[in-house]
Each structure stands twice: as structure tokens, then as C-alpha cells.
Chain A
């Protein structure tokens, strides 16, 4: 009697735990289904290629889509080289000294700073002090600072998996430190570093708060013509639509979210593909 009683409790507890895993996943499913049901009817070719409009049924996301693509390209161009460079420094040159420790503490703390605070930093430093205005440049630099800690941490992990024997083999063959890094260490760690960078960039694609803080425009009827051009981005356009009381605009927001999620899905699929290809080789 005693035994079965205990087992019943244990079974009930396992069931409860499984329930706790499945409920959030069910929420994810409901969320995606809800967005698709709301927005699928609105997701037409003209929605992708039209300018925003005061009339919900004519409005499109072209400037937001183009703005997001430029923004992400620029963000990646700033953040990926600097992030990988910082990771190489910390992992290959750093050693155990005060500077390395200080940088590590900083990166750990920066990863926990709310994204809207980065927006305030960007507003003061890039928009005003550097006088870049509410441009793609200001947005991209702000987002680059935001995702740098993610890229650095992921790249360091990739570098740490390269066996030390390979570095020592290079030195034994007479290579300098940089030659070993450039020709052996970095190529081996590259897939891991790229995967981390792609995931970091996909985080930047959905970021809204820092762009609002730097004052990105919400109603843009032109395409950006260079890095100093004012811009809007997909999440901003979605926020603008979801904040309006008219239900037709909320439907536009749902269609916009579908586009945003599709882009994120592509980036994540690319990251998974790279990771798998890399795992197969090693």
C-alpha cells in the first residue's frame, strides 16, 4: 500500500513537470497561430511593396523592410569584426591580467543591461554628440553595441574549442603567433563564430525599444538612400500599427509580424545549418 501510494505521487509529480514544459510551448503555438490567423489575409505582394498610408488597406511595409535590411547589414558590419576581434584578444592574447578581467566583468554586466538603456546611450552619443541624427548610422551603432557581448561570448566559446596542440604545432613549425591564429585557429573556430554572430544579429532584427529611444521615425514614405538617411524599421512599423485603435491597422501589424518572424526563421535556419555542418566535420 505504502509503495504504490508513493509511486502515485511520483507519477503525479512527473506529470506536473511535463505539464510545466508543455504549457509555454503550447503558448508559443497559440501565439504563432493567432498571428497567422489575424495577418495571413493581409500578407500580399502589394503589402510588401507599398509605402505606408493613412488608409490601412493600402499601407505597406516597403520602407520598413528596406530600412531593416540596411540596418541589419550595417549593424553586422560594425559588430561582427569588433566582436570577433575582442574574442580573439581575450582568448588568445588576454591571459590572466587586470585588463582581461576588467573586460570580462564589463561584458558580463553589459549583457544584463536593458536594451532601452542602450537606446538612451545611442540618443546622447550617436544622435546628438556625434551628430549623426536619427539616421541608419545611429541605429546600427546602437544595435551593434547591444549585440557585441553576445558575439564576444559565442566567439570565445568557439575559439576555446580549438585544441591547444594545434597552436603549439604551428609554433613548432616556426609560425608567429598571428600566423597561427589567422591560418589555423580562426579558420577552425569560424563556423562557431559565424553561428554566434548570426544569432546575435537575429536578436537585433527584432529589437524595437532602442530604436524608439534614439528617435527612429514611425511614418516614412521614402527609402533610405545612405547610412546618414533617416529610416524606419520593421519592428517600429509594427509597434506603430499595433498602437492604433483601428482594428484594420492591428491586422497590418499581424502581417508585419509574419514577415518579421519569417526573416528570423531564415536567420535561425542558417545558423542551425552552419552548426550542423560544423559538427559533422569535427
Chain B
């Protein structure tokens, strides 16, 4: 195998001595075991794709794809079954939209503060604290959304139901703010000094330099962080499962109970759904849709990040 031969060894100077025949056989066994550890990630991806594809295909054997994409109701657990995915997609988009509306301004302004204004001491305190925010389990955020934020918002927002998209959306926004802050800060920090100095030399002051020179230069890096945060919000499960409700509804009203794709998977999993039933297959169809949506966002994010690195 090509990877085994010495010219692929990362340590080029020594590789000359360690010709293949000189490598003792236990070392070759070790290398094979280590490679197997690495290859496991490939099998994980293949496993995810195969599992989702297999159950999705078997779902579409029973329910034509036109009913999946053409119907506007999602009621697979009722007697009168409808399999239109759009209410779940709408629920996911609604909570994600609220989350980004919160996380984008807070995350971006935090990033600007940390990279442009904070001194070294403030950075050393604030950055780990933001990391703590990202490390709190989502079940805790879900509790907070349901028990603390929703009752509080009900005093301000008229007609806000006990389960709604607004409260978990805001909490998800707080959850993903550190992600946007940290990745955008890296991008802003990476903008070459010469660009700023050029602006100063032309007589620009600090604020216009940041807004008109530094941010535009870092834009694709910032966009990469936001796309990744959107992907996180789409896949976030426990906050919406606890606080957004279980009523698939084709609406953009953040005050009423809805159901996201992830929350539907949780709802079915909490019941005792026997394998092989149509209900069982629906969670894989929803999972496959979710997987495709997050994959698209992740790939877009990676592309933007590459573009940013190429520009520097």
C-alpha cells in the first residue's frame, strides 16, 4: 500500500534509514491499527448516509414523494395521516431565524470588541467566560427557556403561548453567540495591519476604519462563522423540544406553538414506536432532511472560510 512506503513518512530525513524491510513487523501492525482508528471516521460518515438513505427509500416506497413535498400538513401520528414536511421545515426556520437575529448583532459586536477594543487583560477574562456559555448543555438552556424566559416574555409580548418559537429562539441565539463571536474575532484579527494603517494614513479615524475597511475585509470569514452558527441552530434539539411545543404548523408567527424537525424526532423517540412501522421511518426521513440542510450550510461555511483564507 502506498501510504506504507517510506517516502510518505512525514519525517523525511529519517525515512531514508527506515526502509520498509528495516521496519520491524510489530511497527507495521501498530501503523495499521492506528490507520484503522483514522479510517473509522470514514465509516461513521458512510454509516450515517447509508442508515438515512435506507430508511428514507423504504419510506418513499409507501408514501410518494409528491405527498412529502406537496402536502402542507404533517400528521403522521394521527389517524388522518399527512406527510408534508413543510410545517416542520417552517418551525426549524422560524426558531433559527430568531436565533440568528439575536446572535448576529451580539456575536459580531462582541468579536469587534474583543479584537479591536479590549486590552489583553479583558480578553483573558471575557473569552473563557464566553466559552463557558458555549459549554452549557442544551438541556439546561431548554429549562431556562421554558421556566424562566417564556413567563417573562408573556408579560411583554401579547398573545405569547406557553410553548412558542420566540423564547427558545432567543435562548438558542445566546447559545450560538460565542461561536459567532469567537470565529468572527479570528477573522477580524487576521485582517493585515497594513490595511488599517493604510486607512489611517489616508486620514480615516478608528471607527470608520473598522466599519469601512476591517469588517469588509473580514466579511467572508464572518459569513463563514454565521453559516456555521445557522447550521448549529438548525440541528439544535433539546431547547426546541422542551420549549417550542409539538404542533407542526406552517406559520411564521413566533408566538404560537410549533414543532421543529429535531423536536419531532424527539417526540417519536420518547414514545414506543416499533421498528418497521411508517412512524419509525418518518424520523429517518426527517433526519435525512435535517442532515442535508446542515450539510449544505457546513459546506457553504467551509467554502467561505477557504475564500477568506485565499484573500489574505
Contact = CB atoms under 8 A, between A and B. Distances in A.
A152 B30 CA distance: 18
B254 to A, nearest CB: 19
Interface of B: 2-3, 8-11, 13-14, 17-18, 23-24, 26-27, 30-31, 33-42, 44-45, 47-48, 51-52, 54-55, 105-110, 112-114, 116-117, 126, 129-130, 132-133, 135-144, 146-148, 174, 177-178, 181, 205-207, 228, 231, 234-238, 241-242, 262, 265-266, 269-270, 275, 283-284, 287, 290-291, 294-295, 297-299, 301-302
A178 to B, nearest CB: 5
Contact of A95 (B3, B26, B33, B107): B3
Interface stretch (A6-14, A57-65, A189-197, A221-229): A6-14
Q: What's the dominant secondary structure at chain B's contact region?
A: helix
Contacts of A83: 37
Contact of B242 (A95, A123, A176, A242): A242
6 pairs of A and B residues whose beta carbons are closest in the complex: A206-B137, A114-B235, A20-B109, A85-B37, A171-B14, A17-B113
A178 B30 contact: yes
Given A34-B147, A152-B41, A116 B110 contact: no
A89 B37 contact: yes
A117 B41 contact: no
Contact of B34 (A88, A117, A120, A164): A88
Contacts of A242: 139, 142-143, 146-147, 242
B290 A34 contact: no
B112 A114 contact: no
A248 interface: no
A85 B33 contact: yes
Contact of B55 (A20, A124, A149, A212): A124
Interface in A114-128: 114-121, 123-125, 128
Contact of B135 (A92, A110, A209, A264): A264
B237 A20 contact: no
B129 A25 contact: yes
Contact of A99 (B3, B10, B146, B301): B3
A243 interface: yes
A128 B275 CA distance: 9
A58 B192 CA distance: 62
Interface in A177-236: 177-178, 202-203, 205-209, 212-213, 215, 218, 235
23 contacts: A13-B207, A17-B110, A17-B116, A19-B109, A20-B107, A20-B113, A31-B136, A86-B34, A95-B8, A103-B39, A103-B42, A110-B41, A112-B294, A113-B48, A113-B294, A116-B287, A128-B275, A167-B14, A213-B283, A239-B238, A242-B143, A253-B143, A268-B135
Given A20-B106, A38-B147, A112-B298, 13 more contacts: A19-B109, A23-B106, A31-B136, A88-B34, A93-B9, A114-B234, A120-B51, A120-B52, A121-B51, A123-B269, A178-B27, A250-B147, A254-B143
Nearest to A253: B143
Contacts of A106: 41-42, 44-45
B234 to A, nearest CB: 7
Interface in A248-282: 250, 253-254, 257, 260-261, 264, 268
B138 A16 contact: no
Interface residues of A, number: 95
A63 to B, nearest CB: 17
A239 B130 contact: no
B110 A20 contact: yes
Given A124-B51, A167-B14, A239-B238, A176 B24 contact: yes
B14 A24 contact: no
Contacts of A178: 26-27, 30-31
Identify the interface centre among A124, A148, A202: most chain B CB within 10 Å of its CB: A124
Contacts of B2: 97
B230 to A, nearest CB: 11
B30 A108 contact: no
Interface string A1-37: 0000010011001101111110111011011001100
Contact of B235 (A9, A17, A117, A207): A117
B18 A177 contact: yes
Contacts of A18: 113, 117
